């Protein structure tokens, strides 16, 4: 086999050649390049080694029993295999062919593995995405149904008042505005995300002082949440660069409102503005309940509001963070979160300080 | 006069239901979540409870569990729900019925009067 084996190096699939050793054991005689890149093993860790020294359990038992079956029945054996290699968990479709010598004895095996890891992972991802979408639909239906239900009921009440010749209650009309406003906000969030996902949003860049903007935004938020203490800290007094003030305002208020929502009324919220080398960093920290590691994993993915419990009242569709992430990305920046359960969370975004184009 | 306790976190919804029931001659008491409802029930014995399920502080499931544990009187419960599985939700809290949101005034009144037998 020797040097001839090199021709298998150009194959995408994994190819290996095994010798049949005493006591039903097997040794790797040759492997192609793809074997090494797929597993992340070095040639000296494989060639000349016994199969049981290379392939970990639980795959090893399956592999050995299939090799033995191929020899015993003198036929090609195929199976699916999942194995943890240094390069990660690999999914493969394996085929092993026994090589029979002139005396009818099987002295070696030739194997081929078609790596389907990417396929399997893509399938898993799409299944997860489907699940997340259906969870999102549950929440969306519920969130939309509540204001619709109250609008529907109240309109019927008003209709009855009119039918009975009673004067229309002005208060009732004003009350109609609450569910209508809620509906409006939910639909705006959906539209916003949909536009951002389709990449049809163009930033309206202008030269602004972010420090000055934040001071104004905090004043506004303090009017909405008078019971909350918003501490603002900034070393630089003027941070002038080009950004879309309306969009960054959206990100900023979303992060502050999350902090308000997920931390106790009495705890302060720290807001920090740092003027770094060529970029600015804004961080918002709360001393709230924090976020579990599982939720942190995909907190910026739309439709993934981690660990969604349909029995818990959600306010809104949970699209604030995905929308914020997309806006920051449009500014060529990054958004991060650090959190510890029971201690609180810090959300921050960093954007490059650019001049007007 | 028959008494109805309405437990619902959506204020406009709560006000509308209370108004309709009062207009029909029921005595109505309201609570914005399960915890407040348990407070009310300490010295108020309604003939019927209309229960929203998804609420802050204490949801419908927790309310029903606490109500069964802490109170001797058993008032029939009707679940108000916008969920895809209203029957399951009603079973969860051993309710005598459910009303799917959004609903018509007549439907609400029919279910309420059927659940409270006898004169108003």
Of these ranges, A110-114, A198-202, A260-264, the one predicted with the greatest mean pLDDT is: A110-114
Query: Taking CB atoms and an 8 Å limit, are B105 and A153 in contact across chains?
Result: yes
Q: Which residues of B touch A154 (CB under 8 A)?
A: 12, 16
Nearest to B9 among A145, A154, A313 (CB): A313
- Residue A31 — very low, low, confident or very high, per pLDDT cuts 50/70/90? very high
Nearest to A150 among B13, B55, B104 (CB): B13
- Does residue A317 surpass a pLDDT of 90? no
- Does residue B118 surpass a pLDDT of 60? no
What percent of chain A clears pLDDT 90, i.e. is strictly above it?
A: 55
Average pLDDT for A172-185: 84
Please tell me the least confidently modeled range out of A57-61, A319-323, B17-21, B80-84.
B80-84
Choose the mutation target among B6, B10, B93 for the interface with A, i.e. most A CBs under 10 Å: B10
Q: Is B10 on the interface with A (CB under 8 A)?
A: yes
Q: Is A179 on the interface with B (CB under 8 A)?
A: yes
ipTM computed for the complex: 0.77
Closest CA to A153 of B4, B100, B116: B100
Write down the H helix ranges in chain B: 11-23, 34-41, 60-70, 86-92, 105-115
- Return d(Cα A267, Cα A275) in angstroms, integer: 26
Q: Is B87 on the interface with A (CB under 8 A)?
A: no
Average pLDDT for A186-202: 85
Element at A335 (helix H, strand E): strand A334-340
Closest CA to A344 of A295, A285, A298, A270: A285
Query: Taking CB atoms and an 8 Å limit, are A157 and B19 in contact across chains?
Result: yes
- In the stretch 290-319 of chain A, residues with CB closer than 8 A to chain B read 310-313
Phi-psi region of A104 (alpha: psi -120 to 50; beta: other; left: phi over 0): left
φ, ψ of residue A254 in degrees (nearest 5): -60, -45
Kindly report the pTM of this predicted structure. Answer: 0.61
Q: Is A141 on the interface with B (CB under 8 A)?
A: yes
- Return d(Cα A320, Cα A251) in angstroms, integer: 8
Of B69 and A137, more confident = B69
Q: Measured in whole angstroms, how far is the alpha carbon of residue A66 from the centre of its chain?
A: 38
pLDDT of residue B83: 78
Nearest CA in chain A to B106: A156
- Does residue A309 surpass a pLDDT of 60? no
Query: Taking CB atoms and an 8 Å limit, are A153 and B11 in contact across chains?
Result: no
- Residue A310 — very low, low, confident or very high, per pLDDT cuts 50/70/90? low
- Return d(Cα A27, Cα A25) in angstroms, integer: 7
pLDDT of residue A136: 78
Distance from CA of A264 to the nearest CA of B (A): 14
Output the average pLDDT for chain B.
Answer: 90
Q: What is the pLDDT of residues B14-71, one digit of tens each?
A: 888 998 899 889 999 999 999 999 999 999 999 999 999 988 888 999 999 999 999 8
pLDDT of residue A89: 93
Choose the mutation target among A313, A314, A315, A316 for the interface with B, i.e. most B CBs under 10 Å: A313
- Return d(Cα A214, Cα A208) in angstroms, integer: 11
Q: What is the pLDDT of residues A248-275, one digit of tens each?
A: 999 999 999 999 988 888 999 999 999 9
Query: Taking CB atoms and an 8 Å limit, are A142 and B83 in contact across chains?
Result: yes
Please tell me the least confidently modeled range out of A130-134, A176-180, A311-315.
A311-315
Q: Which residues contact A137 (CB under 8 A, 6 or more apart)?
A: none
In our burial notation (b when 16+ CB lie closer than 10 A, e otherwise), range A276-290 reads: eeebbbbbbbbbbeb
Average pLDDT for A225-247: 92
pLDDT of residue A305: 54
Of these ranges, A206-215, A296-305, B93-102, the one predicted with the greatest mean pLDDT is: A206-215
Q: Is B105 on the interface with A (CB under 8 A)?
A: yes
Q: Measured in whole angstroms, how far is the alpha carbon of residue B88 from the centre of its chain?
A: 16
pLDDT of residue A307: 47
Average pLDDT for B85-113: 91
pLDDT of residue A189: 84
């Amino acid at each position: 086999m020797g040097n001839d084996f090199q021709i298998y190096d150009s194959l995408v699939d994994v190819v290996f050649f095994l010798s049949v050793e005493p006591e039903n054991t097997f040794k790797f005689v040759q492997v192609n390049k793809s074997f090494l890149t797929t597993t992340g093993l070095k040639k000296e860790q494989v060639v000349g080694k016994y199969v049981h020294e290379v392939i970990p359990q639980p795959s090893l038992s399956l592999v050995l029993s299939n090799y033995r079956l191929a020899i015993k029945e003198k036929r090609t054996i195929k199976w699916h295999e999942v194995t943890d290699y240094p390069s990660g968990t690999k999914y493969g479709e394996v085929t092993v062919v026994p090589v029979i010598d002139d005396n009818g004895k099987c002295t070696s095996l030739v194997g081929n593995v078609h790596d389907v890891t990417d396929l399997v992972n893509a399938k898993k991802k799409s299944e997860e995405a489907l699940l997340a979408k259906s969870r999102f639909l549950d929440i969306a239906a519920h969130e939309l149904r509540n204001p619709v239900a109250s609008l529907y009921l109240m309109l019927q009440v008003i209709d009855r008042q009119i039918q009975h010749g009673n004067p229309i209650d002005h208060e009732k009309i004003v009350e109609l505005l609450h569910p209508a406003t809620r509906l409006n906000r939910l639909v705006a969030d959906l539209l916003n995300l949909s536009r951002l996902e389709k990449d049809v949003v163009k930033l309206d860049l202008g030269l602004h002082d972010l420090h000055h903007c934040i001071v104004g935004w905090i004043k506004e938020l303090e009017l909405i949440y008078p019971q909350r203490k918003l501490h603002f800290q900034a070393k630089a007094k003027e941070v002038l660069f080009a950004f879309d003030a309306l969009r960054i305002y959206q990100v900023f208020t979303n992060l502050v409102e999350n902090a308000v929502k997920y931390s106790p009324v009495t705890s302060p919220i720290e807001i920090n503005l740092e003027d770094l080398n060529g970029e600015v960093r804004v961080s918002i920290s709360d001393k709230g309940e924090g976020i579990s590691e599982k939720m942190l994993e995909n907190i910026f993915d739309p439709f993934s509001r981690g660990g969604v419990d349909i029995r818990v009242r959600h306010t809104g569709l949970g699209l604030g963070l995905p929308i914020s992430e997309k806006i920051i990305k449009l500014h060529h920046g990054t958004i991060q979160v650090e959190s510890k359960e029971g201690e609180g969370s810090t959300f921050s975004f960093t954007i490059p300080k650019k001049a007007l184009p | 006069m028959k008494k109805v306790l309405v437990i619902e976190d959506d204020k406009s919804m709560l006000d509308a239901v209370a108004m309709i029931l009062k207009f029909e001659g029921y005595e109505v008491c309201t609570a914005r979540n399960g915890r407040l409802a348990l407070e009310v029930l300490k010295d108020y014995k309604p003939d019927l409870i209309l229960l929203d399920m998804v609420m802050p502080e204490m949801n419908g499931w927790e309310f029903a569990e606490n109500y069964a544990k802490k109170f001797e009187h058993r008032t029939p419960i009707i679940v108000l729900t916008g969920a895809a599985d209203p029957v399951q939700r009603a079973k969860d809290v051993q309710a005598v019925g459910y009303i799917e949101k959004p609903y018509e005034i007549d439907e609400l009144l029919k279910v309420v009067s059927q659940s409270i037998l006898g004169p108003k």
